[in-house]
Structure 1
């Protein structure tokens, strides 16, 4: 069963360029359906990276956002070591 996928002109053009590059470098003709199937297959292997690519990007912060963050920080005067953190987390 074949289902159509809607995509904008820019994405379609990039898919066509990728298809052409695969043919030039491998000498093998592949359909756009094969290219998309392989992309999805590879994306499953690096699913976390794919999911992260859809997260809202918040880094790097603007200078004013960075200053606002640091303005809210207060030093307690106590140095915390890794052992202190382990004690709190693991008892």
Structure 2
């Protein structure tokens, strides 16, 4: 049983482009329903990343930002254990 999915013209156009490219590169004719089903399965496989794509703003640092962040870190010379952290946080 098929159910209609509403989408704007731009999205519909991109779906049609994808459909045509699949046909051109694989020689296989696939339906838009097949494409959407495969996209949903792909999103399920990387669920956390897919969900994060709907968050506002940047969710992670790129390599340069991470290097700059870590470059600002210094060692105090004091080794801290998990017990030390627990004691500080929980008293």
Helix, strand or coil at the partner of 2:30: coil
Offset of 1:29 from its aligned partner?
A: 0.1
**Residues 1-91 of structure 1 aligned to structure 2 (within 5 Å):** 1-58=1-58, 79=76, 83-84=79-80, 86=82, 87-89=84-86
Offset of 1:84 from its aligned partner?
A: 1.6
TM-score between both structures, scaled by the size of structure 1: 0.68
CA RMSD of aligned residues (A): 2.6
The superposition leaves residues 31-89 of structure 1 with CA deviations (integer Å, 9 ceiling, x where unpaired) of 00000000001110001111000000147xxxxxxxxxxxxxxxxxx9376x4263314
Q: How many residues align?
A: 72
User: Structure 2 stretches of 5 or more lacking a match?
Assistant: 60-74
Q: Aligned pair in 2 of structure 1 residues 85, 10: CA closer, same or farther (>3 Å)?
A: farther
Q: Please give the alpha-carbon distance, in whole angstroms, between the structure 1 residues aligned to 2:42 and 2:77.
A: 42
TM-score between both structures, scaled by the size of structure 2: 0.68
Helix, strand or coil at the partner of 1:84: coil
